[in-house]
Amino acid sequence: MSTVKLWGVLAQYENPATIYKACEQVRDAGYSEWDACAPFPVHGLDKAMGLKPSKLPWIVLACGLAGSSFGLFFESWAMGSLYPMVVGGKPLFSLPAFVPVWYEITVLSSCVTAFLANWILNGLPRPHHPAFASKAFERVTDDKFFIMVEATDPKFDLEKTKALLQSSGATLVEELEP
């Protein structure tokens, strides 16, 4: 007889309204290690889940400002001291001439930061997740909504968690193995 370790519980919902209410119920029940998955963004779902605001905008702002500062410094250093060249009587530090490249460096550093920080904060890439083994979870990219509660949650009790998810309007509740 083998003992299979449980990763958590997966619950399926039919529409955005039911998953929204279910997320509020799971949040109010005190669970902390859980997630909701939807085929499209559901307005207000982050508030229903009780999520804190993302750190991503602040990270992008900091790296965008750093990239902008570095870009302007590099342009002024290159034109002012490394390769001083007077063109048409203009000064060595001519801010209007630097603006297009300065702007593009700011945008580039912000975009690259947003992409990489988003991946890092979300733990991507993740080639395997226990939910991928569920046949029902395949519909998350089509028309179904899901809540996953991890067994590592301090409030997790298999029977109580299943009962909560079923009472919140789930059409299917199944156990997930690691």
**Digit-coded pLDDT (tens) for 116-138:** 999 999 999 988 999 999 999 99
Cα(24)–Cα(50) distance, integer angstroms:
8
The strands making up 172-176's β-sheet, listed across from edge to edge, are: 34-37, 145-150, 8-13, 172-176
Please name the residues in contact with 126: beta carbons below 8 A apart, sequence gap of 6 or more. Answer: none
Ranking 10-14, 26-30, 122-126 by mean pLDDT, the lowest is: 122-126
Q: Taking the domains of the chain in order of start, what are their residue ranges?
A: 8-53+130-176, 56-121
In tens, the pLDDT along 149-170 reads 999 999 999 999 999 999 999 9
* Count of residues in the chain: 178
85 pLDDT tier (thresholds 50, 70, 90): confident
Residue with tokens 């063109």: 87
Residue 37, SS3? strand
Average pLDDT, the chain: 93
When the candidates are 3.40.50, 3.30.70, 3.30.960, 3.30.420, the CATH number that belongs to 8-53+130-176 is 3.30.70
**pLDDT confidence bin for 1, thresholds 50/70/90:** very low
| Residue 89, pLDDT above cutoff 90 | no
170 closest CA partner among 50, 10, 51: 10
Asked if residue 21 has pLDDT above 50, the reply is: yes
pLDDT, residue 28, reads 96
What pLDDT does 14 receive? 95
